[in-house]
Structure 1
């Protein structure tokens, strides 16, 4: 279970399961799609009418770290704080054609990608550089086009020639090693109830559309997506030279609809207790009869005596039933199409373009595919992230940035401790355990202490498909090899170039990659209020994930166990039920609301993170009054810093997808969580009758 700040459909509770399902069910797009910076200033861009170079000794954004021109002061903060802080930015910002959504995370993704590109271009000129050769193999589109479908043909032939379902299950295991999703997602993680032991964790999978609702909901938009999906599969089969493509694609869609009917909802799948189901291999066979488990394990190279956790047992029963009842030719086509879809990015242009037309334009609304170099940077970062990361931090993450971030983390952790000590609703014995858990936190800042060794990974400049397959197998085997070994507490699950952060309760750690420690989240030269409202609230967010509705179930040692009193749990639920209801009421699209239960963990983390970051900011002042800058008080700048990081614009298809399947609420609702904070009312003079106004009794205060 890893909970992240923004994993868009990119990381939530039971996030390890979500990550596995994403890898299996959603053919990979460029990991962090980039866009041209528009409407916001970051290094090298214009800052409030001044070239950034002219501000070399000052903050990168504005005069104190906030883009004042991006506000819309015609909107009272009490009516819509998001619009007050960001309305002009939103009005003036165009979503780049190669993006479906655009905001401050994407500004930093652009910057991180440009920085990484500089490194890769240098490495591309160095023979024998694995990252440089991998990048070069993706950029060499002429060679990719010339090879056609030949690089994947042996796999397709093996699938088509499988004489039985048992043989096909073995092929599915082999393809999973190469990064192709099958009926079941699989990864290795700590056993939640025995966190000193690694276990194989299985999760439901098998769908080519983003979520079960895309198959089962009668909404006209989703029905249109299903029709487009079937056309996409038809075209993929046609491009591969397969006959009867239309009928075969229709049969695969019908099969996936049956799988979707067996799937758990995302709300159920984020419940740490529900998804903890420890089974032996024999019990898995008994619980999900009809699937050829022994052959699948053989093909994937998974030891049958390994500890195993099955996240959604009834879904496995249902999926195995679908497997048993579906004719062998349809099962073959399902795996064939998942192979083509997974590797379409690395095949000739017509495959790549067809895949983007569906997964890019149809499902997210992005009109154009990103430039090949951008996708190449993302690909190299995905598969050789720590090789690149070592060079990235050496060049772009100075020791003073790490030291300043370390101090911020210490201050926010201390503020969370003070909040816990003063809680009136938590039993004293629970409070002591909570404080012990907080004291045992491991913060990881910037980059790992030791770097991953890629010596055994073979990369060839003229073999893109082979490079991707070998990199996937290398990572798959690296995870399998953890079984039976001591827990690697130094392991990172994000690269230093990633614009994100995460909490990992089985490790009792909070992790902040180097790349997010840049403006607008963090700027050592910005006013402290902006940093506390930006990265400080991010830090508070990740800390509080360890105490959200799922993270709270893990004790000081990272063990999933009951350590709260029944009264504590009941009281906590009264708060969280109200937060669910508050978010359920938001309607970003006509007829489509935020799912309060799905986004609960992230909303708790936003609420608590902002509160403890504000405490930390005030403590940092040392009893002194913050100066007035550009007519703003320190507290106003703190909340503006929060509002600035959630500036986000969405195209309608991706917003629909987020509302259906993402554990994070859209940016506007995340910014407006300030309506629950007493200090915000005082800071901006929010009055009864304004749209965000909540009475004292209506405000949700957890920590």
Structure 2
């Protein structure tokens, strides 16, 4: 339930402002005014508030050739990369003590940036895995090989993970989810529009080209690519659609191992789990039983040559970005250009930093917060969280569709939400993770294995509710229903080119209070999060009448977003994006009432001709200041539960009466919705 998907920026708050090509028009006090500088006043706010708020910025920030989008996340990301790059370079030169975090950061960087070594090694780093696959004699050997590959990070056939039991949040459970596809999700295998059919054809060519890089002749490579596509299509046929994956009850099917064996005749799950390191497992939560029925059937009916082709592809696909340049280029051609629309590959050093973040994120995080997230900033956002929670409590008390008894329980849940702001109080211990200069691939494999073991080690142990699922340098946030918590990394509050001290409350309350804090709080009460109680358990705590009235309002927002058309003929999936759309709308109205208690709102002074409330709404729009390539946008519509940025602004704004008042929106304008037809939940 993340704020957005543009991750990995650094917090600029209270640090040196980063460089930008934009002009930050100053207000009367001489401070830069990002909101005013971004405006496109040729657009009427009531027709397209997103373009009005962000249009000039977007015109001045074309999408870099190496990116699929240009936006606020990319701008903040410029600083994170610069700082993490220098940290890594310094670590590589430091001759640090063996086993220290600095040694690991330095060695990961040094071998990662060494493209000549990667080219010299060729496929050697994955050769043992390819040999293991080639040595399979019958399909009976397949589960054992998969058990070896999954801990290394290969998403082959099945999707095990460890997480809190949705119906018993004090216990860690083993889950099985649908997995194993090389395309982003099932719809790519079946949609009949021209764009998707072209992607399918390109995918098969990409798989064949990868096999050729491994040394297969054209005939063999093409035959194996067809095998891969046929097997993945069978898996996709039994995979659930994006919107179906959001129903927590239907995706919770707890089974004993005997029941799981019965679901998939011929498979011995106890042995298979033991091969994956999961011993003493007595039950498992299966997300999509029909998918695992297909897994069992395929393991009985597909010949071993099909599995050799499939697993060879999955291993190579996973590690191609770490191998020699031909593999890197071929992977980028499909996953970067065909799927995302990027015109050029990002510099190697940025790609290595991304891998380093995945492998050693907490080690980097410790260095990050020490220098860049000062106590003054943390205090400001701790207070902001309290103010938004207080505002939400008032909204719960005032809504007319929720009964008094349910309001009592809702308020109890709200006040039991744990806010985690900035950074964790304890960090992951990487002491048993080996990082050296043998190869980038080996380091990525070992880091994946470490993370797998770290998660697996939680089974049978008390739940650690202090743990964070994001690093503090991540430009994102989330609500975790099992812990009933909102997690707000330090970088989630970053505003590029602007010091925190120079950001007025209107901007901060819109940008952080609405689009991040209020948004995540509301997730606890959206169509999915509302099904979990204050202790984090999947449990119906609403009355039937309350749920009915709530669902009636959700149906209206689903219909509203289903009606938005992009790229000529593609539509937003209103049902799949409902939770995020509810949270966006909730965050705006809750954050606004919190802002109304500030000194800036009460004084009512204009800055560059903008009232405090106008600046609040512009602050919210700043959070979605981005534009995206058509290819990436088309992919987002099929795979993402978040609406595109433009509609995360225009969609909810059309339902907020205060927006109409602030900008004089009138009938006949494109965003105008009659009051009786507007969505009102919180």
TM-score of the superposed pair, with normalisation by structure 2: 0.95
Please point out which of 641, 644, 651 is paired with 1:666.
Answer: 644
Q: Does the Cα contact within 8 Å between 2:17 and 2:499 map onto a contact in 1?
A: no
Number of residues of Structure 1 aligned to a counterpart in Structure 2: 666
| Counterpart Cα distance in 1 of 2:214 and 2:280 | 35
The aligned counterpart of 2:680 is 701
The farther-off stretch of 604-613 and 138-147 is: 138-147
Deviations 1:307-345 (A, max 9, x none): 411111112112322232211110121011100010111
Deviations 1:107-151 (A, max 9, x none): 222222222222222212123411121121211111111111111
Alignment of structure 1 residues 141-160 onto 2, 5 Å: 141-160=115-134
Q: CA deviation at 1:625?
A: 2.6
The aligned counterpart of 1:549 is 527
Q: Secondary structure at the match of 2:637?
A: helix
2:19 matches 1:44: yes
| Counterpart Cα distance in 2 of 1:197 and 1:180 | 27
Q: CA deviation at 1:290?
A: 4.5
The aligned counterpart of 2:658 is 679
Q: Does the Cα contact within 8 Å between 1:72 and 1:85 map onto a contact in 2?
A: yes
| Counterpart Cα distance in 2 of 1:42 and 1:546 | 34
Q: Does the Cα contact within 8 Å between 2:35 and 2:619 map onto a contact in 1?
A: no
| Counterpart Cα distance in 2 of 1:657 and 1:289 | 36
2:220 matches 1:238: no
The farther-off stretch of 658-667 and 80-89 is: 80-89
Q: CA deviation at 1:428?
A: 1.0
The aligned counterpart of 1:196 is 170
**Cα 1:397/1:622, change in 2 over 3 Å:** closer
Deviations 1:206-230 (A, max 9, x none): 1100111111111111111111111
| Counterpart Cα distance in 2 of 1:274 and 1:400 | 45
The aligned counterpart of 1:107 is 75
Deviations 1:601-640 (A, max 9, x none): 0000000001100010001238833211111100000001
2:53 matches 1:85: yes
Please point out which of 151, 161, 175 is paired with 2:135.
Answer: 161
Q: CA deviation at 1:69?
A: 2.9
Q: Does the Cα contact within 8 Å between 1:188 and 1:199 map onto a contact in 2?
A: yes
Q: Secondary structure at the match of 1:524?
A: helix
| Counterpart Cα distance in 2 of 1:525 and 1:291 | 62
The farther-off stretch of 493-502 and 120-129 is: 120-129
Q: Does the Cα contact within 8 Å between 1:593 and 1:659 map onto a contact in 2?
A: yes
Alignment of structure 1 residues 302-313 onto 2, 5 Å: 302-303=278-279, 305-313=281-289
The aligned counterpart of 1:603 is 581
Q: CA deviation at 1:106?
A: 2.0
Please point out which of 105, 115, 118 is paired with 1:131.
Answer: 105
TM-score of the superposed pair, with normalisation by structure 1: 0.92
Consecutive unaligned residues of structure 1, counting only runs of 5 or more, are 11-30
The aligned counterpart of 1:527 is 504
Alignment of structure 1 residues 337-416 onto 2, 5 Å: 337-416=313-392
| Counterpart Cα distance in 2 of 1:320 and 1:524 | 59
Q: Secondary structure at the match of 1:511?
A: strand
**Cα 1:237/1:591, change in 2 over 3 Å:** same
| Counterpart Cα distance in 1 of 2:499 and 2:412 | 29
Q: Does the Cα contact within 8 Å between 2:385 and 2:517 map onto a contact in 1?
A: yes
| Counterpart Cα distance in 1 of 2:299 and 2:36 | 58
Q: CA deviation at 1:279?
A: 1.1
| Counterpart Cα distance in 1 of 2:281 and 2:657 | 54
| Counterpart Cα distance in 2 of 1:166 and 1:642 | 55
Q: CA deviation at 1:33?
A: 9.9
Consecutive unaligned residues of structure 2, counting only runs of 5 or more, are none
2:569 matches 1:591: yes
Q: Which runs of 4+ in 1 moved over 4 A?
A: 31-34
CA RMSD of aligned residues (A): 2.0
**Cα 1:160/1:295, change in 2 over 3 Å:** farther
Q: Does the Cα contact within 8 Å between 2:270 and 2:281 map onto a contact in 1?
A: no
Q: Does the Cα contact within 8 Å between 1:522 and 1:535 map onto a contact in 2?
A: no
Q: CA deviation at 1:291?
A: 4.4
